[in-house]
C-alpha cells in the first residue's frame, strides 16, 4: 500500500480479502461492459453508419439522457425498498439484451431509441456499484481506489480482445463493417454481470422513518456540505469528459491515417489512459489524505485542460507522424489523472458527506449530474463544436483538430478557476469534510 506501514487501528478497519476480491470482480465486469464500446463508438457511427456530426452527437447524448430519472426511482428503490445487488442484476440483465439488439441495427432512429433505453438501464449501475462498494468497505478512503482500479482494468481488456483478435488484419470497408462487434461483446458480458450481481454481498436498504422519500432528502443536501458547488462544477467537467470520449477515437484515426496506418488501433492507444489510471487510483487514497479533496480534485481539472492543449498541438505544430503519435499518447496518459483525481474523488467526497441512509440517493443524484445531465449536454456540445470546425463531407471531409481541442481547453480552464475559488479546503488528513 502506498500509505506505508499501517497502524494497529488501521489493520482492524481493513476489509477482508474475500470482500475486496468480490467487489473488485464486480467493478471489473461493470466497466468491461462500457469499455467494449465507448472508446470507438464515435468512429463506428461516423464511419460505419455514416452519421453526421449532429447525429453522432445526438446518439452520444442519448447514451446519457435516460438516467435523468435515476435519482427519483433507482435511488428510492435502493435506499428504501430493494437490495442494491438485485437492482443491479435486473438492470444488467435487461441492458445486456438491449445491447445485443443494438448490435443488429444500422439506421439512425432504431440506434437512437435503443441507445436511450440502454442508458436508462446501464448508467445508474455505475452509481449503484459505487454505493454497494462503499457500504461494504470498512476503510473507504483507502480501499475504494484499490477496488475501483479493477474497473479500470476491465475497461482496458476489451480493447485488446477486439483489436488484436476480432478486428486483427482488417482494413478499409471490412474493418468498418466489423466494428459493431463491440456491442455484442458488451451485451454478452452484461448478461454475465447480471448473474454475478446475485452473488454479491447482501445490501438491503437502511430506511430512516423520518425521511420516507430518499431523493427528496438528498436534494436538500445540495445546500449543505458544499455538495452544491461540487455538483455544479462536476456538471461542466462532465461536458469536457464527454468531449474527450466523443472526439478521441476520430482524432486518433486522423493521426493514424496521417501515417498511412489503416488497421484498428484506436482502442489500444486509448488504453494508455487506463494504464495510467491504474496507478492514479492506487495512490488516490494517499493523495486525498495528504493533500485533501480540494487540491486533489483541482489537479484533476488541470489535467483536463493540459490534455486538450497537447491534443491541439498535434496538428497545430504538425510534427512528423512519430511526433504526432507521441504527443497523443502522452495526452492519453493524462486520462488517469482526469478521471481518478476528479470524478472518482468526487464520488468519495459524496460518500463521506452523505448521511448513511441517503448514500444511495446522493450517489445517484451526483452521478446524474456527472454521468447523465453533463454527458447529455456534452454530446450535443461535442457534435456542435466539431461541426463548426469541419468542412466538406465523405472523402473530402477535413477537420480543424486544433480548433476543436482548443475549445475544450478554454472551457476546462474556466472550471479550474471556479473550482479552486469556491470549493473549500478541508482537513482530509484528519478525515474531516468541510461543512
Instruction: State the cell numbers at 162.
Output: 477486439
Backbone angles phi, psi at 7, to 5 degrees: -80, 170
Say what angle helices 53-65 and 374-388 make with each other, to 10 degrees: 170
Residue by residue, pLDDT tens for the chain (435 residues) are 344 454 544 445 788 889 999 999 999 999 999 999 988 888 889 888 989 888 999 998 888 776 566 555 665 565 567 888 998 999 999 999 999 999 999 999 999 999 988 988 887 888 789 889 988 998 887 888 889 889 989 998 998 888 888 787 777 777 777 788 899 999 999 999 999 999 999 988 766 544 555 556 666 766 665 778 888 889 999 999 999 999 999 999 999 999 999 878 888 899 999 889 889 988 888 899 899 999 999 999 999 999 999 999 999 999 999 999 999 999 999 999 999 999 889 988 887 877 776 776 777 777 766 667 888 899 999 999 998 998 877 666 789 999 999 999 999 999 999 999 888 886 543 444 443
Question: Looking at the DSSP assignment, which residues form a beta bridge with residue 391?
Answer: 398
- Please return the burial class of 201, using the count of CB atoms within 10 Å of its CB with bins 0-12, 13-18 and 19+: middle
Rounded-to-integer distance, Cα 345 and Cα 337, Å: 10
Give the position of cell 441517503. Answer: 358
d(CA 72, CA 407): 34
CA–CA distances in Å: residue 406 to residues 235, 315, 379, 385, 403: 20, 12, 17, 11, 5
CATH superfamily of the 12-430 domain: MFS general substrate transporter like domains (1.20.1250.20)
Listed by start position, the domains of the chain span 12-430
Maximum pairwise Cα distance, the chain? 66
Amino acid at each position: 500500500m502506498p500509505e506505508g506501514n499501517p497502524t494497529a487501528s488501521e489493520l482492524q478497519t481493513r476489509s477482508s480479502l474475500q470482500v475486496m476480491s468480490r467487489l473488485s470482480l464486480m467493478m471489473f465486469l461493470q466497466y468491461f461492459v462500457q469499455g467494449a464500446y465507448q472508446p470507438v463508438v464515435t468512429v463506428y457511427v461516423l464511419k460505419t453508419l455514416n452519421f453526421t456530426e449532429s447525429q453522432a452527437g445526438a446518439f452520444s447524448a442519448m447514451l446519457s439522457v435516460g438516467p435523468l430519472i435515476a435519482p427519483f426511482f433507482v435511488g428510492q428503490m435502493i435506499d428504501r425498498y430493494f437490495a442494491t445487488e438485485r437492482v443491479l442484476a435486473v438492470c444488467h440483465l435487461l441492458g445486456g439484451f438491449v445491447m445485443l439488439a443494438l448490435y443488429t441495427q444500422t439506421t439512425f432512429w432504431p440506434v437512437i431509441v435503443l441507445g436511450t433505453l440502454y442508458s436508462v438501464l446501464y448508467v445508474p449501475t455505475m452509481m449503484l456499484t459505487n454505493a454497494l462498494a462503499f457500504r461494504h468497505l470498512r476503510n473507504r478512503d483507502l480501499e475504494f481506489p484499490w477496488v475501483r482500479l479493477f474497473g479500470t482494468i476491465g475497461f482496458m481488456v476489451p480493447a485488446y480482445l477486439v483489436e488484436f483478435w476480432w478486428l486483427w488484419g482488417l482494413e478499409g470497408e471490412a474493418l468498418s463493417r466489423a466494428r459493431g462487434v463491440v456491442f455484442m461483446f458488451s451485451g454478452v458480458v452484461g448478461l454475465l454481470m447480471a448473474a454475478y450481481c446475485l452473488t454479491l454481498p447482501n445490501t438491503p436498504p437502511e430506511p430512516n422513518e423520518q425521511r420516507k422519500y430518499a431523493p427528496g432528502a438528498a436534494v436538500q443536501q445540495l445546500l449543505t456540505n458544499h455538495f452544491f458547488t461540487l455538483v455544479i462544477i462536476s456538471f461542466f467537467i462532465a461536458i469536457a469528459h464527454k468531449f474527450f470520449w466523443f472526439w478521441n477515437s476520430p482524432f486518433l484515426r486522423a493521426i493514424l491515417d496521417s501515417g498511412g496506418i489503416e488497421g484498428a488501433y484506436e482502442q489500444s492507444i486509448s488504453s494508455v489512459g487506463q494504464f495510467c489510471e491504474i496507478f492514479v487510483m492506487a495512490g488516490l487514497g494517499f493523495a486525498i489524505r495528504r493533500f485533501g479533496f480540494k487540491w486533489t480534485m483541482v489537479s484533476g481539472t488541470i489535467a483536463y485542460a493540459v490534455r486538450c492543449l497537447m491534443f491541439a498541438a498535434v496538428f497545430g505544430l504538425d510534427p512528423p507522424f512519430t511526433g504526432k503519435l507521441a504527443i497523443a499518447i502522452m495526452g492519453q496518459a493524462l486520462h488517469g489523472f482526469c478521471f481518478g483525481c476528479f470524478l472518482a474523488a468526487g464520488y468519495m467526497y459524496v460518500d463521506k458527506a452523505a448521511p448513511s441512509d441517503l448514500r444511495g440517493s446522493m450517489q445517484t443524484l451526483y452521478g446524474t449530474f456527472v454521468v447523465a445531465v453533463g454527458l447529455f449536454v456534452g454530446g450535443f456540445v461535442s457534435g456542435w463544436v466539431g461541426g463548426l470546425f469541419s468542412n466538406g463531407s465523405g472523402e473530402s471531409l477535413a477537420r480543424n483538430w486544433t480548433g476543436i481541442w482548443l475549445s475544450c481547453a478554454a472551457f476546462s480552464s474556466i472550471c479550474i478557476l471556479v473550482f479552486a475559488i469556491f470549493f473549500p479546503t478541508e482537513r482530509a488528513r484528519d478525515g474531516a469534510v468541510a461543512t
